Amino acid sequence: MTTANVLEKRGFTESDEFARKLDRLAEVAVRVGLGLAPRQQVVMTATLEQVPLARRITEHAYRAGASAVTTIFADEECALLRFHHAQDFSFDTAPAWLYDGMAAAYRGGAARLAIAGGNPALLAKEDPEKVSRLNRATSKAYRPALELITRQEINWTIVSGATPAWAAAVFPGLPQEQALERLWNAIFAITRIDKADPVSAWKEHDAHLHARADWLNEKRYAALHFRGPDTDLRVGLADEHLWDGGGSVARNGVYCIPNMPTEEVFTTPHKSRVDGHVTSTKPLSYQGTMIEGISVRFEAGRIVQAHASRGQHVLEQMIGTDEGARRLGEVSLVPHSSPIASSGLLFLNTLFDENAACHIALGQAYTMCMKDGEKLSREELAARGANESLIHVDWMIGSNRIDVDGISASGPEPLLRAGEWTWKV
Amino acid sequence: MTTANVLEKRGFTESDEFARKLDRLAEVAVRVGLGLAPRQQVVMTATLEQVPLARRITEHAYRAGASAVTTIFADEECALLRFHHAQDFSFDTAPAWLYDGMAAAYRGGAARLAIAGGNPALLAKEDPEKVSRLNRATSKAYRPALELITRQEINWTIVSGATPAWAAAVFPGLPQEQALERLWNAIFAITRIDKADPVSAWKEHDAHLHARADWLNEKRYAALHFRGPDTDLRVGLADEHLWDGGGSVARNGVYCIPNMPTEEVFTTPHKSRVDGHVTSTKPLSYQGTMIEGISVRFEAGRIVQAHASRGQHVLEQMIGTDEGARRLGEVSLVPHSSPIASSGLLFLNTLFDENAACHIALGQAYTMCMKDGEKLSREELAARGANESLIHVDWMIGSNRIDVDGISASGPEPLLRAGEWTWKV
């Protein structure tokens, strides 16, 4: 057998080409996404399936001057064992000590890197009431740490690695090895790892997103109007809202790009000025369960009717988390021609799917999407319309059949038509 | 091919017999070792190689009423990447936020389970000066959490699972699969998992260790005298010392057996009353490096001369950690006929090797081995001779050629001869 034959027999994830790309993804995550500064600690989270990527990231973080890299590995199998064997009270308990520890790390200057890519349907067969209670307990325990992230106190980023369960969900008809290869290749393409110089490609893309956000910031729209099949939604924007996109300087002075991929420009809606109805255009994978065919009616910012063709109970539990869970915390514009939509794939993973289409998020607003947001008190932020909640759940409302107008004092202006920007930057 | 043939072709660790024993080890660890109380959280630590045992323990912990089981998995590969790629300052950094988080969990009532069994020679080829600095930084960061454990504030236990690297170190001549099977079988035998009723076997053994400790407590020896080849050591015991062994009620009211296996009875030496010379009888695996042929001279409790035939530098770094690292914090008696010594194996893992032979520990003393120890201040404990240090490192000085006397006001009494107890309980 020749060497070539031996190589052919190896699966893609054992190939040298894969190893090179995985290493490059790790390098881009650390240097471009996280923008790691020397002597920072890194707090990484990942499932056990992500060990190969976590190792490559660990190496690049140390090479970039990390003082310590600590990965908290979650085991999906153990998560299922809990649902199958734990007593009822367990589902109201979360390890607050761990999340508080992470918050302490961030306050001490650590950077935060999450590897996403869990099984999108992990908890689909579990009791939705227990799923919801555990999500709520976890959200509550995680809140202090999450606030440091959403307030951009530190540099952070989320990247994804393919896993067998995720690949099987995206490519249900393919054998496991092929599904995994196709998902990895999609991730490499979408995160610009295939480019000759991924770092330059990311810098160019980042500049492009900033130009779009700047243009929207000059417009000072009072509202956006979404129209399409089963959708007619007016989203009032918060007073002194800011559009954001791509990377930004965190309050610790480090420039980071918090999502890889990212294709969106986004801002803060006014929590009391959203009216009309809207229908989801992609299924939502929400903490291990699927919610599909979401159809919601807003009045004065608040959801007054919510229906899902699948996952109705989980949707109700989600919007019942707290008062802010029924209101919007983010609105985001993405053209239908984004590389993710172009792939034609449904990733069942918010990091990817939200960057394939215009979307809205229920729950917590981002301080950085308000002028001088980091200097304002909670009361001042609320007075300007910024929403507060334990949750922040994005779901997709864009497609090539959606039109979006910007509403200013002088009337509506077309922003997107059939899912595409009406202007170039 | 018959079913029997198929089963024969499977490796031991994929067999049903192995699965049953692994599950029983997990059950005994949770119910007997940890003595888990309903509604306790569990903080587990393990390396990635221990995932199968960690999952079995997770299930049994939830079945026993755990409210949440959180496992912090360490990756030995990432530990090596740090040595190969991190900058110099990294070796003085430890994730204190994580250890402080664990301490908070213990203060909040969590139980602690550690799965031991790492590669005993993981860091053998790394720069000993960096190894030592990182150990010191880690010990310092871990101290608040460790103190809650050594003060028995909570129920805790350590169990072991076999791993390929550990098995290869114990059985260097065997193929990996065979080495792993032999190490697992040794662990199952030594932890009484092979018995028809492991829980009853443990209760009987525990009662036996308590009877020995009670007998020694009645004796009120002032000192122990170890004699053997290259050893003539008088170990003064702390004022108001207590002998302990087997399980005990932690201060949270839960009965636990902190080590599985455990064959020792142990107490607190007087930090200023140790004189003579002593030679190690087994190699010591110390945080990823090997120290062999330790030969040490004590004067008035303090090491004044220390030599190792291998690992001299690491030994020096270890005893240089702080002033207490040069003094004894524990002395422990184990008969040579213990199941571990009988196995004839050198495990290169302190949890096993310390239970095969009499041993001493440099560093921190155990409060529970002092009368009313938990009520005494640090100053009061020190006045009675209890040692304080960042480290607690056991090393073996017993063998079938060692005699031990107990020294009381009326003179010496024989305790062990040729490594065996001179009396039965």
Question: What ranges make up the beta strands (E) of A229-344?
Answer: 231-237, 244-245, 248-249, 255-256, 265-267, 269-279, 284-286, 289-291, 295-299, 302-307, 328-333
Q: How far apart are CA B405 and CA B425, in angstroms?
A: 17
Give me B170's structure tokens. Answer: 């114990």
**CA–CA gap between residue A153 and residue A112 (Å, rounded):** 11
| DSSP state letter for B410 | T
Cis peptide bond upstream of B95, omega within 30: no
Cis peptide bond N-terminal to B38, omega within 30: no
B75, part of any domain: yes
| Token duo for residue A420 | 């595409």
- A67 interfaces chain B, CB cutoff of 8 Å: yes
What count of other Cβ atoms lies within 10 Å of the Cβ of residue A337? 12
Res A8: pLDDT: 52
Indicate whether B301 and B161 sit together in one domain: no
Give how far B158 is from chain A: nearest CA, Å.
20
Residue A38 to chain B, least CA–CA distance (Å) = 9
- CATH code assigned at B149: 3.40.1830.10
Using a CB–CB cutoff of 8 Å, tell me whether A71 touches chain B: yes
Distance CA A270, CA A56 (A): 42
**Residue B33 domain flag:** yes
**Looking at the domain assignment, is residue B393 inside a domain?**
yes
Residue B31: inside a domain: yes
Nearest CA to B349 among B183, B166, B201?
B166
Residues in chain A within 8 Å Cβ distance of B55: 75, 77-78, 81
| Start-to-end C-alpha separation, chain B | 54
Same domain? For B226 and B165 the reply is no
Domain check: are B27 and B121 in the same one? yes
What are the tens digits of pLDDT across the range A209-253?
999 999 999 999 999 999 999 999 999 999 999 999 999 999 999
Q: Are A110 and A101 in contact (CB under 8 A)?
A: no
* Greatest pairwise CA separation for chain B in angstroms: 74
Strand partners, B15: none
- Strands (E) located in A91-240: 111-116, 156-160, 223-228, 231-237
Tokens of A403: 């039109």
Range A49-65 average pLDDT: 98
**CB crowding B162-184: b at 16 or more within 10 Å, else e:** bbebbbbbbbeeeeeeebbbbbb
pLDDT at residue number A246:
95
| Structural domain that includes position B106 | 3-190
| Cβ within 8 Å, pair B95-A68 | yes
Look at residue B56 and tell me if it is in a domain: yes
Distance from CA of A55 to the nearest CA of B (A): 6
User: How close, in Å, is residue B79 to chain A by CA atoms?
Assistant: 9
Regarding whether B186 and B237 lie in a shared domain, the answer is no
Q: Which of A45, A49, A67 to mutate to test the interface with B (most CBs of B within 10 A)?
A: A67
Q: What is the DSSP letter of A34?
A: I
Does A66 contact B at CB distance below 8 Å? yes
Q: Which two tokens stand for residue B31?
A: 């119910």
User: Does B258 fall in a domain?
Assistant: no
The Cα B253–Cα A178 span in angstroms is: 54
Q: Which residue of B has its CA nearest to A43?
A: B95
The answer to whether the CB atoms of B89 and A97 lie below 8 A apart is: no
In the three-class reduction of DSSP (H, G, I as helix; E, B as strand; rest coil), residue B175 is classed as coil
The type of residue at B266 is F
Q: What is the Cα–Cα distance from A267 to A216, expressed in whole angstroms?
A: 10
Average pLDDT, integer, range A32-40: 98
Considering only CB atoms, B95 lies closest to which of A41, A89, A94, namely A41
Do A227 and A166 lie in one domain? The reply is no
Q: Which one of B41, B62, B80, B138 makes the best mutation probe of the A interface by having the most chain A beta carbons within 10 Å?
A: B62
Per the CB < 8 A criterion, the answer to whether A242 and A267 are in contact is: yes
For residue A338, CA distances in Å to A28, A39, A271, A341 come to 20, 36, 28, 5
Interface residue B196 vs chain A (CB under 8 A) = no
- Contact criterion met (CB < 8 Å) for B90 and A105: no
**A238 DSSP assignment:** P
Does the pLDDT at position A196 exceed 90? yes
Choose the final residue of a domain: A169, A190, A211: A190
What would the mean pLDDT of A136-150 be, rounded to a whole number? 93
CB B404 within 8 A of CB B415: yes
Do residue B81 and residue A72 have CB atoms under 8 angstroms apart? no
Residue A365 is classified by DSSP as P
Closest alpha carbon to B331 in B229, B406, B249, B422: B406
pLDDT, residue A151, reads: 84
Give the residue carrying structure tokens 């072709």.
Answer: B9
In B, minimum Cα distance to A76 occurs at: B55
CA distances (Å), B220 to each of A336, B214, B217, B371, B417, in order?
Answer: 83, 10, 6, 12, 20
Same domain, A231 and A160: no
B138 and A CB contact within 8 Å: no
| H helix or E strand, kind and range, residue B244 | strand B244-245
Nearest CB among A81, A101, A108 relative to B101 is that of: A101
Structure letter (DSSP) for residue B30:
I
Residue given tokens 């090491």 in the structure block: B303
Q: Quick one: B307 and B365 in the same domain?
A: yes
In the prediction, which pLDDT does A337 show? 87
Which of A72, A89, A98 would best serve as a mutation to test chain B binding (most B beta carbons within 10 A)?
A98
- Per-window interface: A 102-121 vs B, CB < 8 A: 102, 104-105, 108, 110
Cα distances (angstroms) measured from residue A360 to each of A375, A423, B102, B142, B414: 25, 22, 37, 43, 80
Helix (H, G, I), strand (E, B) or coil at B366: coil
Sequence-ordered alpha helix ranges (H) in B113-155: 128-150
Q: Distance (Å, rounded) from C-alpha A274 to C-alpha B392? A: 62
Q: Same domain for B111 and B16?
A: yes
Residues A155 and A234 in one domain: no
Beta-carbon separation of A66 and B48 below 8 A: no
Written as one letter, the residue type at B422 is: T
Task: Name which of B41, B78, B90 is nearest A71 (Cβ-Cβ).
Answer: B78
- The answer to whether A93 contacts B51, with C-beta atoms less than 8 Å apart, is no
Q: What is the DSSP letter of A268?
A: P
B interface mutation test: which of A27, A42, A48, A85 has the most B CBs within 10 A?
A: A85
Strand partners, B110: none
B265 touches chain A (CB under 8 A): no
**Do residue A355 and residue A404 come from a single domain?**
yes
Quote the tokens at residue A273.
Answer: 């000025």
Q: Does B11 touch chain A (CB under 8 A)?
A: no
CA distance B155 to B111: 5
How close A51 comes to chain B (CA, Å)?
9
Provide the domain count of chain B.
2
How confident is the model at residue A7, as a pLDDT? 46
Q: How far apart are CA A281 and CA A223, in angstroms?
A: 21
Q: What is the pLDDT of residues A310-345, one digit of tens each?
A: 999 999 999 999 999 999 999 999 999 888 988 889
Lookup result for tokens 């009620």: B249
Residue count of chain A, please give it: 425
Tokens of A60: 């690049």
Structure tokens at B118: 């790492």
Beta carbons of B98 and A101 less than 8 Å apart: yes
pLDDT at A285: 85
Residue type at B424? K
Q: Is B218 exposed, middle or buried (0-12, 13-18, 19+ CB in 10 A)?
A: exposed
Are the beta carbons of B238 and B269 closer than 8 angstroms? yes
CB atoms within 10 A of CB A42: 25
Distance in angstroms (rounded) separating the CA atoms of residues B77 and B130: 17
Q: Nearest by CB to B55, which of A54, A72, A77?
A: A77
Cβ contacts of A408 within 8 Å, gap of 6 or more? A219, A220, A221, A222
Q: Let me know if residue B104 belongs to a domain.
A: yes
Half-sphere exposure of B291 (CA within 13 A, CB side): 25
Nearest CA in chain A to B80: A59
What's residue B3's pLDDT? 45
ipTM of the complex: 0.89
From the CA of A42, how many Å to the nearest CA of chain B? Answer: 9
- For B106, the closest chain A residue by CA position comes to A97
Q: For residues A265 and A214, give the distance between their C-alpha atoms in angstroms, rounded to a whole number.
A: 10
Residue of A nearest to B43 (CA): A95
The single-letter DSSP state of residue A368 is G
C-beta pairs of B373-379 under 8 Å, 24+ apart in sequence: B373/B242, B374/B151, B374/B152, B374/B251
Are the C-beta atoms of B229 and B279 separated by less than 8 Å? yes
DSSP strand pairing (A289-291 vs A265-267)? unpaired
Interface probe with B: pick from A39, A47, A78, most Cβ of B within 10 Å: A78
Question: DSSP assignment, residue A303?
Answer: E
Interface A–B counts its CB contacts (< 8 A) at 126
Residue A253 lies in a domain: no
- Indicate yes or no: CB of B38 within 8 angstroms of CB of A110: no
Q: Are residues A185 and A227 in the same domain?
A: no
A69 vs B71, B78, B102: nearest CB: B78
CA distance B153 to B149: 6
Do residues B245 and B258 lie in contact, with contact meaning Cβ atoms separated by under 8 Å?
Answer: no
Asked if the bond preceding A261 is cis, omega within 30° of 0, the reply is yes
Give the nearest partner residue to B66 out of A39, A59, A86, using CB atoms: A86
Residues of chain B predicted below pLDDT 70: 1-9
Q: Which residues from chain B sit within 8 angstroms of residue A75, using beta carbons? A: 51, 54-55, 58, 71, 73
Same domain flag for B145 and B51: yes
Q: Which residues neighbour A372 within 8 Å (Cβ) at sequence distance 6 or greater?
A: A240
Using the beta-carbon criterion (under 8 Å), do A75 and B71 form an inter-chain contact? yes
Q: Does A371 touch chain B (CB under 8 A)?
A: no
Using CA coordinates, name the residue in chain B closest to A107: B97
Q: Which amino acid makes up residue A317?
A: Q
Q: Please tell me the distance from the alpha carbon of residue A332 to that of residue A393, in angstroms, as a whole number.
A: 12
CA distances from B387 to A382, B241, B273 (A): 57, 12, 11
Contacts A105 to B, Cβ<8 Å: 95, 97-98
B62 contacts in A (CB within 8 Å)?
Answer: 81-82, 85-87, 90
Question: A29 with A157: CB under 8 angstroms?
Answer: yes
d(CA A411, CA A303): 26
Under 8 Å between Cβ of B412 and B225: yes
Pairing of strands A295-299, A269-279: antiparallel
Taking a C-beta distance cutoff of 8 angstroms, is the pair B422, B416 a contact?
yes
